[in-house]
Amino acid sequence: MKIDSHVHFWKYHPVKEAWITDDMKVIQRDFLPEDVAPILKANAVDGCIAVQADQSENETHFLLQLAEEFDFIKGVVGWIDFKAPNLEERLDYFCQFKKLKGFRHIVEAESDSKFLLNTDFCNGIGKLSKSNYTYDILVSPSQLKTVATFVEKFPKQAFVIDHLAKPNIKNADFLVWENEIKKIATCPNVYCKVSGLVTQADWNHWKKSDFTYCLDIITSAFGIERLLFGSDWPVCLLAASYSDATAIVSEYYDRFSPKQQQAFWSDNAISFYNLF
């Protein structure tokens, strides 16, 4: 079995998806489950996690509706306002949706490098474990220094780092990223998605060896038991097809035992997101 832990869906709108700039024209269109279904089948992927790309509860409902319609969407990572005074009420409301597994905030887009340590935000994060919700951490390397402090505040909360925290693969500038990701990995409640690799490289001129160093670092730091496969489709299309992006990690982890490979491709995602 294979589970893709990181897929996006959207009905493209130039204002709502303003982050999709003109150099990303290949993804300036709708991407829906019927688009990815044959791709998953061709790559022997049995299911996926739909992850939010817009900061609204409407986005959460949009993904939940898709998950109801398409059985291969095994779980949803939605959005909720962690600073809202009625957060507990909203979390209680969302508990009725069994495919809602966790939440994410696009911290990467926040100008405050210490956003994760905001008191109100942290108070909100502290309410997730009551309902067994996960939290996806989306940050850039410049924001990593706060992540270790952040996750240490919540030793019982399940966290996963999206896209390896976006190391600068294009310029092979790894010093800050490597030091900080190793610190974060010492927290046993933090997992890491092996996703988004190609979009951190030179979109037009990458080669598989460009990714080896970062894969070595995160595999050593987290161990195979805390790594999840993710494609970051359709964003990966900026630099590679689904198959080509998947082949990078497939070739790297092919040297691991069958049991370890099963953990990477499916078991870790099933356990982390409590899929079945």
- Report whether 193 contacts 6 (CB < 8 A): yes
The tens place of each residue's pLDDT in the chain, 276 residues long, gives: 999 999 999 999 988 888 999 899 999 999 999 999 999 999 999 999 999 999 999 999 999 999 999 999 999 999 999 999 999 999 999 999 999 999 999 999 999 989 999 999 999 999 999 999 999 999 999 899 999 999 999 999 999 999 999 999 999 999 999 999 999 999 999 999 999 999 999 999 999 999 999 999 999 999 999 999 999 999 999 999 999 999 999 999 999 999 999 999 999 999 999 998
The runs of H, that is alpha helices, within 156-195 are 175-185
Q: Tell which residue, 53, 104, 45, 100, has the closest CA to residue 75.
A: 100
- The C-alpha atoms of residue 225 and residue 139 are separated, in whole angstroms, by 22
Judging by DSSP bridges, how do beta strands 227-229 and 73-78 pair with one another? unpaired
3-272 has which CATH code?
Answer: 3.20.20.140
| Residue 163 token pair | 């896209």
Contacts (Cβ under 8 Å, ≥6 apart) of 229? 2, 3, 4, 5, 193, 194, 195, 246, 249, 264, 265, 269
The pTM (predicted TM-score) of the whole model is: 0.96
212-222 and 175-185 helices cross at what angle (nearest 10)? 20
Task: Give residue limits of the domains in the chain.
Answer: 3-272
Torsion sign across C-alpha atoms 181, 184, 186, 189: negative
- Report whether 12 contacts 29 (CB < 8 A): yes
- The C-alpha atoms of residue 221 and residue 91 are separated, in whole angstroms, by 33
- The C-alpha atoms of residue 208 and residue 211 are separated, in whole angstroms, by 6
- The C-alpha atoms of residue 76 and residue 57 are separated, in whole angstroms, by 12
